[in-house]
Chains A and B, each alone.
Chain A
Amino acid sequence: MYKYWLWIFLFISPYPILLFKVNDFALPPWSEFERVLYLSFVQSFFSASLALIFGFLGALGLLSWSQSKRFESLRTFITLPNFIPPLFVLLSVINIFESVGSFPFGLFGVVFIHVLLNVGLCAVIIERLIRENVGGTWELAQVEGAGLASFYWYGIITYLKRDLLSLFIFVFALSLTGFTVPLLAGNIEPLSLSIYLFNKLRLEGDWGQALFLALFESTVLYLFTLLKTKPILNIGRPLMYRGFKGLSLPGVAWALATITLILLLGDITGWVSGVEQLFGDSVILPRFGGAALYTFSIGMATGLLSFMSFLLLAGYFFHFRLFRFFGFYNSPSPIFLGFVFLLALPEVGRGIQLVCGLWLLFFPLLFRMYGRAFIEPLQKQIEVAKVHGAGSGLILKSILFPQMVQPLCWLSGVAAFWGAGDFALSRVLLGQDRTLALLVETLLGAYRLDMATVVALAMLLVGAVCMGLFVGAGYVYRKKYV
């Protein structure tokens, strides 16, 4: 009956593992720590505030698309920068900047990329909040003579302040613990807690200080969780309320879509020369092949693990308390998780560590986003089957598998896509150039931008192949057997 505790224990286990090592703690020098805290908080504050401000404007733009379902795919499109590996977006932005001048590495660059990564997602979430909560009050306000500005302030911002605060905290926490962007777009000073932790761990080899920082980072994250008044990213059926004429800003939505397109295409002119350079480089090309294969394996293994765990959760471990748990659970930062793996399981193969770590990072998010939508309705059917005498095997074969296989393959495909594009956890656990993402870092460090872009494209492609295999398998199974 209390099997769901196993899951909760599994997801919180990294924290007690660190606490057991409490004797090894060492405090970092205060002046250094103070500076990192200041820079990290400034970076995260501006990243979150600007993403929210532009996201709000974007949401007003998206309201003009509420008129038609044709825009649903465009709405998904503008969230892509948040969905694809940040490494790809970062490379695109650097490429675009380099073609007209130079990229402003440092605090400004990091904030700029964080905003680009998160603005589309914020816009979609805020638009959804407005559609669901504000609804007909805009028409009522017009009838009663309220002005546009006062409605924006009192009708939307003041009314949605708890949700907006939760969204701010979400983006703030992402930026505070971010790794890929601050590492590659930052300057010499650490611009996030994760970078500082990584430096202590990998560059200075000071495990005592790293231990303190890992725990500090988690404590900060959990303090934020206490402030977060509402769980976000619960995807359900949106309310299609359409009376937003006069409130929406149609041009902003198209601007957001254009920016997203530019981000995804990057500097196209560099692609051809990048391919030529890659195939002409006898040192990088063999590394590229090995890294592509390894990246593919990591993606597929992450997807498979997600598939199995969703199936197990739906069939054997489901409990409503898990929804509550995952609703407020923050995954630890990848650097923290990598550190825990290095501490607790030094003998276990790094590939296995990486796959397990990626699963711990992605599963709660996927569960929160889509879990309730397709796992919950199955529970009543499982109860009926049990009462009628069905055992676990029959329930799995006849009830769960046929109904879950297609959505589950989608979710596992997403996990595989993210797994193939991981940079942060791989950077802690693996050696140089082992995956395509790590190879991109090497090429970026050598300032071979065109080749790095092509490798990053290959990384996306490998992720897409992994995802396609899962989605295709789900489709074939459903077509053939259900």
Chain B
Amino acid sequence: MSIVKNMFKGYREKDFQFDMHIEHLEWEDSGITALRGPSGSGKSTFFRLLLGLEPCPGMEWWLNEKNLADLPVAQRQLGVVFQTYELFPHMTARQNILFAGKARGQNAKATEARMLELSDQLEIRENLDQSAQNLSGGQKQRVALIRAMVAPIQYLFLDEPFSALDSDLRDSARKMVGELVEREKIPTLLVTHDEQDVQALAHRELKIENGRIL
């Protein structure tokens, strides 16, 4: 089980106020868990707090009997695909992927082998030496996915991964992500506002509104 405790976070701005208030939340740590809510509901905050990109004193996130919230971001062994993919634009697709292996201190050969395996599965091998800037939206998404999974991770985070794609590409992209996560058996949190994403992919759904899980 994945258990989150004491996720309390407030933002106060001149004309904006938001409070994340989750005292205790449990969900099964297998398959795809969708976190769905309207914009401004706290999805991104929830996501960023679990990743460790925002400070949240006192918060606990128990996964595999370890409190990940106690660890620095780099040591949590998480993978992430942001909405805009955030590939490093000065690198090729290959360099983007190998960067993640290097960052985790993984053996270069093992990273290379894993990259080729995943790029075959996602049919992107022939684009590996292309500059990240010249890839299409769908190709960028696949490279970002491989980058997130090239080294062993405990949890995969997907932040609205289909919203930047054309509507005719979304179905095939959903299918590809679903199959990949199923095959790799990596527990995944999918943040989305789209009902179709949830229906196509999620094993369970968490609904969030005004910083509270419903």
Give the interface of A toward B (CB within 8 A): 1, 380-381, 383-391, 394, 398-399, 402-403, 482
Contacts and interface: CB of A to CB of B under 8 A. Distances in A.
23 contacts: A1-B55, A383-B86, A385-B99, A385-B103, A386-B73, A387-B52, A387-B79, A387-B80, A387-B157, A388-B80, A388-B100, A388-B103, A388-B104, A388-B147, A388-B148, A389-B74, A390-B99, A391-B74, A391-B103, A394-B102, A398-B88, A399-B88, A482-B90
A399 B86 CA distance: 12
B51 interface: yes
Contacts of A402: 90
A325 to B, nearest CB: 15
A51 B89 CA distance: 42
B88 A381 contact: yes
A389 B77 contact: yes
A384 B86 contact: yes
Interface string B138-172: 00000000011001000001000000000000000
Contacts of A394: 102-103
B26 to A, nearest CB: 23
Q: Which of A1, A380, A387 is most buried by chain B, counting CB atoms within 10 A of its CB?
A: A387
Contacts of A391: 74, 103
Interface residues of B, number: 28
Nearest to B76: A387
A381 B147 CA distance: 13
Contact of B73 (A387, A398, A399, A403): A387
Contact of A403 (B75, B90, B151): B90
Interface of B: 51-53, 55, 73-80, 82, 84, 86, 88-90, 99-100, 102-105, 147-148, 151, 157
Given A388-B104, A390-B74, A398-B99, 15 more contacts: A381-B86, A383-B51, A386-B74, A387-B52, A387-B53, A387-B157, A388-B79, A388-B80, A388-B147, A388-B151, A389-B105, A389-B151, A394-B103, A398-B88, A403-B89
A394 B103 CA distance: 7
A386 B54 CA distance: 12
Contacts of A388: 74, 79-80, 99-100, 103-104, 147-148, 151
Nearest to A392: B74
Contacts of B105: 389
A387 B88 contact: no
A383 B53 contact: yes
A389 B76 CA distance: 8
Contacts of B52: 387
Contacts of A385: 88, 99, 103
Contacts of B151: 388-389
A48 B99 CA distance: 53
B88 A389 contact: no
Nearest to A383: B53
Contacts of A399: 88
A387 B88 CA distance: 14
Q: Which of B77, B99, B148 is most buried by chain A, counting CB atoms within 10 A of its CB?
A: B99
Contact of B103 (A381, A390, A403): A390
A398 to B, nearest CB: 6
A389 B77 CA distance: 7
